[in-house]
Amino acid sequence: MPKLQVNHQELTYCPKNQDNCFGAVFSYTPERINEQKLGNLYIVGQITDQANNQASYFLNLIASIIKREYYSTKHNNASQALESALHKANLALADLLENNGESQWLKNLNLLAAAYSTNKIYLANTNNARALLIRKNQIAEIITNAQNKSSHPLKTFSNIAIGKIEKNDILILTTPWLLNNFSREEIKKFSCENNLSKLSQQIKKYIKPEQSLALNILKITSNDSAHAKTSAKQTKTNKSDRVIKQEKINLENLIDFSLLKKHPKNINNQIFLKKKKAKKSFKIKPDLKQTAFRAMGFIAAWFSSMSLVKKIIATSISAFLISLIIVLPLLHFQNKGLEKILIQQVQLLESAQEKERRAEAVLIFNDKTGAANLLKQSKELLNQVFNLENQHKELKKNKKIQEQISNLEQVIAKQYNKIDGITQIQDINSIAVNADLENITGIGQKFYTFKENVTALESEQTIILLGKDLDLVIFDPKNNNKLKTNAKLPFKNSENIAELANYKSYVYLLDKEENQIFKCPRILSGFGACVEWLTPETQKLLDQPVSMAIDGEIYVLEKNGKIKKFLRGKLQEFEFDKPLKEIQKPIKIFTSLDLAYIYILEPSQNRVLVYTKDGELKSQYKNEKFSNAKDIWVGPNDKKTYLLADTEVLIFNNNFK
């Protein structure tokens, strides 16, 4: 068979001043080597009676869902890929309706998806989207109005048509306006003449302001001239070619229509196949019972004439035959019970898989709470599967089911990571440092580590240290010298100070024992008198503070994982997203005026949480090495994060999207 290729021409029409219609064409080709086997994907769509922005959003959303699932790595062929993609689109449409509260737009959705791979075309449509085939000067409609008996969105796409494609075929994928306003002969003429501009002029002439159109014309060609000559010689005896020469194309020879619901998941086939085999293998035949009874009667007749040794042997044989009659039905009964448990296991697993798929669809609309609830339900169903397996060890012998369970566990974990924005950091650079260092800070692109509490004054290119002798020391990294300032600090123990931070010309110190923040002004000779920044009333609002960061407002991190924001000494309203695994033992918070995000270090859960300054959880970075982290600093423009661990500084890039 020659290697065919597809050339396509696209045309969309919707007046610029239109507010209630929209049409779109999407054409996708494989982007990676492993996608080549799946071929090309084409989608034409239209939504009427909707505002332009909504229609555009819905069409692009549906197309992106179909494309993403179609080209996922788990599919081996185009048929399987398109079926899975349409199933995912149905789930998304169902959740879209549930969230949107309006079903009218779904009735006005005309959409057709076509996959082309290995000289075959796979088509599926909804409502009035249509497909025509032009072959050897004949034109036929190969997929017509979708006749879905159910209006349920989960059954929006329910049919797939499959057909073989030949050289010089022309496929026309279109929304309904074209066939409603042009005859098939006119369409054939424009398409065969390759005159899309003339067709466009005719459309503009007849289309009304309230109407729209999406059209994709696929032309099948071949560069295999040698094969073409061979094929030409064979056409005289080829039966299918004789059918093509008839007045109309024989669609029964060309297209095979198959319902999606006729393709159950492999897991069902595997389980029920095993169930039938098991039932057959444990069936007790009536003639087996009769034979056993006859044997027992024969042995009893001879029993009295036998010697003692022979009687013992005969008794043993009789006991064995009786045990067969009793034990075999019991085995059969036990197997029937196991069948019911197998069915229960499959049903639970299918329900868990469906919950996970719905969670994925809900996430498309950024409903993290809804997705988390569905994943929780999926895990609960999966736990019921595990309970069954613990009670019936035989269930673990089914490798196919165990593979499905393992895959589902991995998918659920990935979905949770997606909800929480978790990124497993793999590419980490490390620089060795002394083990007795506790704090890290930086100026520009350079970082510095110290045993003392520190904060960097970017404006002066200096670093402020809190000495053990209750003094603020200015360190000049350029000249590598320290200057004592003899600052008058209003506390007696430097170990009570959990954090140093600065803003403009002030240094702030957090006293974790007194629940107080001290403010020290920078002056020419060093630092002026430090004052209490919190009033007695606001002091009471703090509960075991552990760290502090400043960007004009002061963020105080508490031992319980809460963040409290203050401005001019007063508590501000501040809500931040809670991750699925709540913050339990945080040790550091970091931000600055020049950074866009707030960073929280929690070594107990091997993570760094990243928040926007509005409290939205942006990301979570995780790595096992974070368990030894002591302090955090983030470089300019949020590009890199630096963690001080036991004997090294860990450096990684922040990949914000």
What was the pLDDT predicted at 303? 55
* Of 518, 534, 530, the residue nearest 567 (C-alpha): 534
Rounded distance, CA 365 to CA 411, Å?
19
- Rounded distance between C-alpha atoms, residue 656 and residue 448, angstroms: 25
Query: Residue with structure tokens 């306003």?
Result: 181
Which of 179-183, 231-235, 494-498 ranks highest by mean pLDDT?
Answer: 494-498
Who contacts 20 (Cβ-Cβ below 8 Å, separation ≥6)?
48, 49, 50, 51, 52, 210
Q: Enumerate residues 6+ apart whose C-beta is below 8 A from 232.
A: none
Q: How many CA atoms lie within 13 A of 649 on its CB side?
A: 21
Per-residue CA distances from 329 to 76, 279, 393 (Å): 44, 12, 22
Structure tokens given for 297? 């009667």
Residue 535: φ, ψ to 5°: -80, 165
Position 598 pLDDT exceeds 90: yes
Residue indicated by tokens 């297209």: 255
Which strands make up the sheet holding 648-653, listed edge to edge?
Answer: 429-432, 648-653, 640-644, 631-634
What is the band of 135 on the pLDDT scale with cuts at 50, 70, 90?
confident
User: Residue 46: its pLDDT value, please?
Assistant: 86
**DSSP output for 54-68:** HHHHHHHHHHHHHHH
Q: What pLDDT sits at residue 314? A: 60
- Cβ neighbours around 480 below 10 Å, total: 7
- Tokens 């031992």, located at residue: 559
Longest dimension (CA), the chain: 126
The reported pLDDT for the residue numbered 285 is 45
- Does the pLDDT of residue 589 top 60, yes or no? yes
Burial label for 586, CB within 10 Å (0-12, 13-18, 19+), is buried
What is d(CA 501, CA 550) in angstroms, rounded to the nearest whole number? 7
The Cα–Cα gap between 657 and 651 comes to 19
Region 323-333 average pLDDT: 51
Report which of 89, 231, 94, 222 is spatially closest to residue 167, judged by C-alpha positions.
222
Would strands 617-622 and 422-424 be described as parallel, antiparallel, or unpaired?
parallel
Q: How many CB atoms lie within 10 A of CB 69?
A: 22
Q: What is the pLDDT of residue 623?
A: 94
What average pLDDT does range 339-343 have in this prediction? 78
Residue 320's pLDDT is what? Answer: 63
With H, G, I as helix, E, B as strand and everything else as coil, classify residue 343. helix
pLDDT at 189 over 70: yes
> Buried (b) or exposed (e) across 146-156, using 16+ Cβ within 10 A?
beeeeeebebb
Q: What residues pair up with 121 in beta bridges, in sequence order?
A: 116, 163
Q: Which residue in 450, 434, 548 sits closest to 502, CA to CA?
A: 548
**Cα(583)–Cα(235) distance, rounded to whole angstroms?**
73
pLDDT tens digits for range 274-286: 333 333 333 434 4
Task: Please give the order of strands across the beta sheet that includes 617-622.
Answer: 422-424, 617-622, 607-612, 597-602, 588-590
Predicted confidence at residue 500, as pLDDT, reads 94
- Amino acid 493 reads N
| Cα 116 from Cα 178, distance rounded (Å) | 23
State the average pLDDT over residues 131-144. 82
**What confidence score (pLDDT) does residue 264 get?**
35
Task: Reply yes or no on whether the pLDDT at 187 is more than 80.
Answer: yes
Q: What is residue 69's DSSP assignment?
A: H
Mean pLDDT score, 146-154: 47
Q: Is the pLDDT of residue 244 over 70?
A: no
Would you state the pLDDT for residue 626?
96
Q: pLDDT per residue over 386-415, tens digit each? A: 888 888 877 777 777 888 888 899 988 888
Bridge partners (DSSP) listed for residue 41: 28, 115
Mean pLDDT of 210-239: 60
